[in-house]
Structure 1
Amino acid sequence: MQIGRLNDRSRAIFRTIVESYLDTGDPVGSRTISRQPGIDLSAASIRNVMADLEETGLIYSPHTSAGRVPTELGLRLFVDGLLEIGNLTDEERANIDVQCAGQGRRREDVLADASNLLSGLSHCASLVMAPKTESPVRHVEFVPLPPDRALVVVVSDDGAVENRVITLPKGLPPIALVQAGNYLSNRFKGRTFEEARQVIERELAQQQAELDALTSKVVEEGLATWTGDGNPSLIVRGRGNLLENVRALEDLERIRKLFDELETKQELTRLLESARDAEGVKIFIGSENNLFSLSGSSLVVSPYMKGDNKIVGVIGVIGPTRINYARIIPMVDYTAKVIGRLL
């Protein structure tokens, strides 16, 4: 639905209902609306407009009272067509700059601090999705495991050590593991995994690797094991903030469901991946995504990028659908830009 389909009177009443709900969380009745500046209508006329708005699916009555609250469709219409986004204060910008700043810091520390900062400023939970480390690989080694397996050990320049278990082809001589390790260490030297993978796959395809068939299979198996393990890391902070404004048992149940959803990291990561290609801030409201359909939560996220304008991750805030969109949207947007500059 387009906001232009509402006449001025309906738009004013709809805006009042949504803004009041976002501010207090309470249903809004015709008497409350009639007292607002700029609403020169009787309570009866307001009730007629509210009935029309309810018929279009923009508001509903959560109880038997006369008060109304916006539906998820109504919130979407408001955010897209009526929301007046505020500006961060100089103090808030400076605070974000200081908290995230620091030359030579580990990327994980910068992202963790940014997530902590966002959860504190927004009074919601915050989350950051970061790609796996792109530190160049220093050394690769294959350690035989009986009967037909091997442990692949990879050491990065930043000191990180990872390992995987692979299955070996039948009849593989022990020297083949040494050859495969030496070959990979030589190709990985000074390169990230992705850079080295492209070189190795090209050499194997063109038979330029100077490896026999069995050793080539070991190399391919090692690459395949790591290629399928590129899951990004996920940082979630500030879950406790979500309990601050619990007003009733149904609110507590909604928060409990949201906690469960935040633990489903694979689904959450998939949702954030869908926001990587967004131009600026992207907003998910309630059941617009399957993950938060039970808890009725909103997610405000923005991708961040490196100096080459390559998007590398996503940062955002999650909370109830009545979060302060006008304040949180510029907050998430600015923090994503600060992280991008630091990276």
Structure 2
Amino acid sequence: MSTAAHNPIMRDLNDRTREVFRRVVESYLQTGAPVGSRSLTRDFSENVSAATIRNVMQDLEFMGLLQSPHTSAGRVPTQTGLRLFVDALLEIDPVTANDREKLEATRMSNEHGVASMLDNVGNALSLITKGASLVLTPKHEAPIRHIEFVPIAPDRALVVLVFADGQVENRIFRPPHGLLPSSLREAVNFINAFASGLTLSELRTRLRKEIAKRRQEIDSIAGDLVERGMAIWEDEGEQTERLIVRGRANLLEQADADSLIKIRELFDDLERKRDIAEVLDLTERGEGVRIFIGAENKLFSLSGSTLVVSPYMNSESKIIGAVGVIGPTRLNYGRIVPIVDYTAQLVGRMLTELGSE
């Protein structure tokens, strides 16, 4: 995040204007109510009249940093104003010992595997921040032990992937029309001849080469089945990463009637995994916490929500996932930002510990 000294807008504000702006935003973030000039004069650092404060607020409104809701003479920050405040004036609070203790307690779930641990991290993050937490888990890249195709309906089949670390994944796909049991067995035998000991990404590369080289040896329907299975493993149209969202009720409880439907649509989109890749892509553009306010990110623009997100890394310093908090634009940024940062670092350490066991 930028500092006030490097922000051109902040350089144009004198001390009085800057203090009025800061106090309006801080009051709004705390109460959610428009701020009037009289309330600011009571605890202002210098002896100024309400009329003077009102003139300063009008200047800030002209600059696009404040706006006046039609129901009140007071002001609230615009999205531009919130962005400026976050970039230039935000004071970060240290993570409290109590919050650290609650997050560190998720280490106890390490023994149950990565999925359980990240579930618990999401729950803890939501509980602590009183927002909705978002955890984008890493792709599963353990070596494969065995793969099976299981027909479950005339037009659907199940891909069962058994990994060397004991985890099992099931994915449904549509098999080729006219599939025979013999073609199913041939496809499974063909895949398993190469699968053992390879990760999914390694297996995809190997199968492409083998299908191209041995096209004449494998039944055309079985070959189509293998390729469709590969498409499912690659999750075309759906990301392989798994998104964990916890604490949806927290955000719904804070929503007004106008934004309630939009927030529900946001969570529906998240559950259908739309634009999940974008969440991770956003974090990969820079290390550390990133803040997206309202329309700054298309995934959250309609709901008017804020996303505070940070990537986490593996032992090789490679970004493999992200953690974040979804909340209203009226968010306690000074508290939430360091908590998200701490959580991302904690997840990275816990995954490194799991990998070294």
18-27 vs 131-140, which moves further: 131-140
3-state DSSP of counterpart to 2:117: helix
Inter-partner Cα distance in structure 1 for 2:142 and 2:50: 65
Task: Verify: 1:307 aligned to 2:315, yes or no.
Answer: yes
From 251, 258, 261, the equivalent of 2:263 is 258
Inter-partner Cα distance in structure 2 for 1:16 and 1:72: 16
Inter-partner Cα distance in structure 2 for 1:137 and 1:71: 52
From 217, 236, 243, the equivalent of 1:234 is 243
Provide the residue aligned with 1:93 in structure 2: 100
How many residues are treated as equivalent by the alignment?
335
Inter-partner Cα distance in structure 1 for 2:228 and 2:84: 50
Inter-partner Cα distance in structure 1 for 2:326 and 2:172: 34
What pairs up with 1:223-302 in 2 under 5 angstroms? 223-227=230-234, 228=236, 229-242=238-251, 251-265=256-270, 266-267=273-274, 269-277=276-284, 278-302=286-310
The 1:144/1:66 distance shift into structure 2, 3 A limit, reads closer
TM superposition score normalised by structure 2: 0.83
Inter-partner Cα distance in structure 2 for 1:317 and 1:146: 40
Q: Deviations over 1:165-215 (max 9, x none)?
A: 3216x8x9865543432221132212221121122223445x278944735
3-state DSSP of counterpart to 2:45: coil
Is contact 2:254–2:328 with CA below 8 Å preserved after alignment? Answer: no
Percent identity over paired residues: 45
RMSD of aligned Cα (Å): 2.8
What pairs up with 1:15-164 in 2 under 5 angstroms? 15-142=22-149, 151=157, 153-157=159-163, 158-164=167-173
The 1:102/1:48 distance shift into structure 2, 3 A limit, reads same
135-144 vs 122-131, which moves further: 135-144
Inter-partner Cα distance in structure 1 for 2:99 and 2:81: 30
Deviation (angstroms), 1:338: 0.8
8-17 vs 135-144, which moves further: 135-144
Task: Verify: 1:7 aligned to 2:5, yes or no.
Answer: no
Is contact 1:99–1:114 with CA below 8 Å preserved after alignment? Answer: yes
Inter-partner Cα distance in structure 2 for 1:33 and 1:145: 67
Inter-partner Cα distance in structure 2 for 1:270 and 1:27: 37
Deviation (angstroms), 1:135: 4.0
207-216 vs 119-128, which moves further: 207-216
Inter-partner Cα distance in structure 1 for 2:335 and 2:29: 12
Q: Deviations over 1:275-318 (max 9, x none)?
A: 24141111111122234334322111111222222222221111
Task: Show structure 2 runs of 5+ residues with no match.
Answer: 1-7, 352-357
Q: Deviations over 1:238-288 (max 9, x none)?
A: 122235556xxxx23323431232122233625423324141111111122
Is contact 1:136–1:156 with CA below 8 Å preserved after alignment? Answer: no
The 1:36/1:82 distance shift into structure 2, 3 A limit, reads same
Inter-partner Cα distance in structure 2 for 1:244 and 1:304: 29
Deviation (angstroms), 1:118: 1.1
Inter-partner Cα distance in structure 2 for 1:123 and 1:69: 22
Deviation (angstroms), 1:142: 4.5
TM superposition score normalised by structure 1: 0.86
